[in-house]
Structure 1
Amino acid sequence: MSQAARRGISRVQNRAVAVLALLLMLPWLAAARADPAIWAREWPTTDFSRTTVADWGEIKSGGPPKDGIPALSDPAFHPAAQVKGLSRAEPVVVLDLPGQAARAYPLRYLIWHEIVNDRVGGTPVAITYCPLCNSAMSFDRRVAGRTLSFGVTGKLRQSDMVMYDRESESWWQQATGTGIVGEMTGRELRQLPSWLDSWQGFRAAYPEGLVMAEPRHNRSYGRNPYQGYDRSNWPFLYDGTPPPHGIAPLARVVRVGDRAWPLARLAKAGEIREAGLVLSWRAGQASALDAGHVGKGRDVGSVRVQGRDGADLPHDVMFAFAYDAFWPKGDWMLE
Structure 2
Amino acid sequence: MLPLVSGEDSMARFLCVIAIWLGLADVALAENPFLKSGWPKTDFSKTTVDLSEIRSGGPGKDGIPAVDDPTFVRVGTENRLGAREPVLTVELAGQTPRAYPIRYFMVHEIVNDVIGGVPVAVTFCPLCNSGVVFDRRVGGRVLSFGVSGNLRHSDMVMYDRQTESWWQQAVGEGIVGAYAGRSLKTLPSWMESWEAFKTRNPDGLVLNAPRPGFPYGSNPYVRYDSAARPFLYDGTPPPHGIDPMARVIRVGARAWPMERLRREKKIAEHGVVLSWAGEQASALDSRQIARGRSVGAVRVQDGQGRDLVHDVMFAFAYHAFYPGGAWALK
Q: What TM-score does the superposition give when structure 2 sets the normalisation length?
A: 0.90
Contact 1:74 1:119 in 2 (8 A): no
Contact 2:45 2:177 in 1 (8 A): yes
Instruction: Give a deviation string over 1:91-150, Cα, whole Å, max 9, x none.
Output: 000000011000000001011100000000110000000000000000000011100000
Contact 2:128 2:314 in 1 (8 A): yes
**Residue 6 (structure 1) aligns with:** none
What is the aligned counterpart of 2:125 among 127, 130, 134? Answer: 130
Instruction: Please state how far the C-alpha of 1:154 moved relative to its aligned partner.
Output: 0.3
**Residue 32 (structure 1) aligns with:** 32
Equivalents in 2 of 1:85, 1:218: separation in Å?
Answer: 12
SS in 1 for 2:107: helix
Equivalents in 1 of 2:256, 2:148: separation in Å?
Answer: 30
**Residue 6 (structure 2) aligns with:** none
Equivalents in 2 of 1:154, 1:40: separation in Å?
Answer: 12
For the pair shown, which has the larger CA radius of gyration, 1 or 2?
A: 1
Q: How does 1:1-16 map to 2 (within 5 A)?
A: none
Equivalents in 1 of 2:227, 2:212: separation in Å?
Answer: 29
**Residue 105 (structure 1) aligns with:** 100
Percent identity between matched residues is 59
Equivalents in 1 of 2:38, 2:28: separation in Å?
Answer: 15
Equivalents in 1 of 2:226, 2:36: separation in Å?
Answer: 36
Would you identify which runs of 4 or more consecutive aligned residues in structure 1 move more than 6 Å? 25-28
Contact 1:115 1:128 in 2 (8 A): yes
Q: How many residues align?
A: 305
Q: How does 1:96-175 map to 2 (within 5 A)?
A: 96-175=91-170
Greater helix share, 1 or 2?
1
Report whether the alignment pairs 1:273 with 2:273: no
**Residue 39 (structure 2) aligns with:** 43
What is the one-letter code of the residue matched to 2:100? Answer: Y
Contact 2:249 2:312 in 1 (8 A): yes
Gaps of 5+ in 2: 1-25
Q: How does 1:285-300 map to 2 (within 5 A)?
A: 285-300=280-295
Equivalents in 1 of 2:93, 2:59: separation in Å?
Answer: 37
**Residue 301 (structure 2) aligns with:** 306
CA, structure 1 residues 143+230, in 2 after alignment: closer, same or farther (shift >3 Å)? same
Equivalents in 1 of 2:169, 2:182: separation in Å?
Answer: 13
What is the aligned counterpart of 2:48 among 48, 52, 56? Answer: 52
Q: What TM-score does the superposition give when structure 1 sets the normalisation length?
A: 0.89
CA, structure 1 residues 247+27, in 2 after alignment: closer, same or farther (shift >3 Å)? closer
Contact 1:279 1:303 in 2 (8 A): yes
Instruction: Give a deviation string over 1:230-254, Cα, whole Å, max 9, x none.
Output: 0101000000011000000000000
